[in-house]
Amino acid sequence: MIHAAIFDMDGLLVDSEPHWRIMEREVFDTVGLYLTDEQCKQTTGLPILDVVRYWFVRAPWSSEAAGGRSHEALADAITEGVHERIAHLAEPMPGAIDTLNFFVSRGIPTAIASASPMSLIEVVVKRLGIGDSLTLWHSATLEARNKPAPDVYLGTARKLNILPANCLAFEDSGNGLKSAHAAGMRTVAVPGAFEYDDPKFEIASVKLPALTAFSSDTFEALQTKECYS
């Protein structure tokens, strides 16, 4: 049985991915790395420091080009810009608020389990006005390992005092889905259109084109599905 619903945040509850891509391109431009929007989509779901490392391995820049800034400093610059953009511009993903309310109306605890830092989670919660709909929110940056490791989902279940096997996790990225799957939860994958048919989403209990497709029928079907370990 499902006793809690746990949601990823970026690209799942909030339409933040375009803001991440804008800031990635802006900051990477300063080191001489000129990425396209499509290239930025390759790292969807990765923690931002891992994104910086990903591109450095493939197109290394000099310390001089970076103005002496470390990988951590570049990641921080991207995150700070995203904070500002989301606080003023971000909107909920289609169906996000209705899906949260679906669980709230049934007395089922809800939570956020995000790869983003707690400061950004709080910006999103405030921007979307969903604080009263959530039991808690948790960041993988407070755990030993970020996604795709299961730590943030296991930590969230622990904070909820609910067994992972009785949790339903919603994810839009492959890395996030791996995280929830490894935690032994039932999973709903909601991939972006650009990667909807990617085989990495086959491990999900259910795959939907958008949260608007989630329904009471979906929920009832998930209640009896086997979860994975």
pLDDT at 226: 62
Residue 132: predicted pLDDT: 97
Q: Based on the domain organization, do 73 and 169 belong to the same domain?
A: no
CA distance 48 to 57: 14
Query: Do 117 and 58 lie in a common domain?
Result: no
Strand-by-strand arrangement of the 186-189 sheet: 136-139, 110-114, 4-7, 167-171, 186-189, 206-207
Same domain, 10 and 98: yes
**Domain identity same for 113 and 197:** yes
Confidence of residue 229 (pLDDT cuts 50, 70, 90): very low
Last residue of a domain, one of 65, 89, 113: 89
Note the pLDDT of residue 152.
98
Q: pLDDT, tens digit, for every residue of 198-216?
A: 999 999 999 999 999 999 9
Q: Which of 58, 89, 120 is the endpoint of a domain?
A: 89
* 203 and 113 in a common domain: yes
Tell me the average pLDDT across 94-105. 98
Report if residue 229 sits inside a domain.
no
What is the residue range of 218's domain?
4-15+92-223
117 and 196 together in one domain: yes
For 198-212, b where at least 16 C-beta lie within 10 A, e where not — what string? Answer: eeebebbbbbbebbe
pLDDT tens digit sequence for 132-163 = 999 999 999 999 999 999 999 999 999 999 99
Q: Which residues are catalytic?
A: 8, 10
pLDDT tens for each residue of 35-56: 999 999 999 988 899 999 999 9
Cα(83)–Cα(225) distance, integer angstroms: 38
Coil, helix or strand for 36? coil
Mean pLDDT, range 154-177, rounded to an integer: 97
Q: Looking at the structure, do residues 165 and 207 belong to the same domain, yes or no?
A: yes
Domain count, the chain: 2
